Amino acid sequence: MPGTWEIAILFATACLAGAMNSVAGGGTILTFPALLAFGMPSIQANATSTLALLVGIAGSLYGYRTHLPAAQRWLKTFAPVSIAGGLLGAWLLTRTNERFFDQLVPFLILFATVLFLANNLIRHLAGIESASLGGSAAGTLGAVALQFGVAVYGGYFGAGIGILMLATMGLLGLHHIHEMNAIKTILAALINVVATAYFILSGLIVWPQALIMTAGATIGYFLGSHFAQKIPQDHVRKLVGVIGISLSAVFFWREFFSR
């Protein structure tokens, strides 16, 4: 069983991660390293972090319920590949050598952080290209292939998939941000639910820590959604960026320079 300090720190970290996810995203950048810091093996930490942050899905889906009818067409196209990709990513994680994944961790954290910081740029670039791809059969097929790749990454690690999916939808010419967020939220839910179910069946979840962090994330999501309008998102984004880059630097040092 985790000790008092571990319980307190994991709970607080998950609370902050839940609040971040409800305001700007990026919660995994905190929860995953927190579990690693207390000695949890990296693959189990990844699976446990994914489960802990699932709690926000219901609230997110409820928030976008009025936009679901307009999003239905795209959900029929993207839902099957999202489920298949999420399962494949989760399966790949369970087949990954622990040492290899440890070496991959700094790159994953850095990649997720860059995605998070480049959110607006990625969406802008996707919008520029939307006129040439949106509405065409080739564009739709390309977007489905991209979504499958995003889902595989989501099942494997997951941080930043929302940003990638918004960029994919931009390539299709979608512009209504609330409808795009509705599609993104449902597809992310499908990816995370199937991946978590696979992790549970594979015995990768460390339940005491998962329950502690789920409780913290629940409070964080509530507080974040309540105070979202009062928090400057640019400040949150900068803080997450500093934390993510700092953590990736620490893990790069630990894995490649301190041995």
Domain ranges for the chain: 4-256
Could you tell me where the beta strands, DSSP code E, fall in the chain?
Answer: none
Which percentage of the chain shows pLDDT scores above 90?
A: 38
The continuous run of DSSP H or E covering 169 comes out as helix 161-171
pLDDT band at 222 (very low <50, low <70, confident <90, very high): confident
- pLDDT(200) > 90: yes
- pLDDT(43) > 90: yes
Mean predicted lDDT score pLDDT of the chain = 83
Residue with tokens 């997720």: 112
- What gap in Å lies between CA 167 and CA 161, rounded to an integer? 10
The residue-averaged pLDDT of 74-97 equals 93
- pLDDT(2) > 50: yes
Residue 176 DSSP code? -
- pLDDT(221) > 50: yes
- pLDDT(177) > 70: no
Among the ranges given (48-62, 117-131, 199-213), the one the predictor scored with the smallest mean pLDDT = 117-131
pLDDT at 133: 43
- What gap in Å lies between CA 85 and CA 210, rounded to an integer? 24
pLDDT at 257: 83
Question: Model pTM?
Answer: 0.82
Among the ranges given (54-58, 94-98, 148-152, 196-200), the one the predictor scored with the smallest mean pLDDT = 54-58
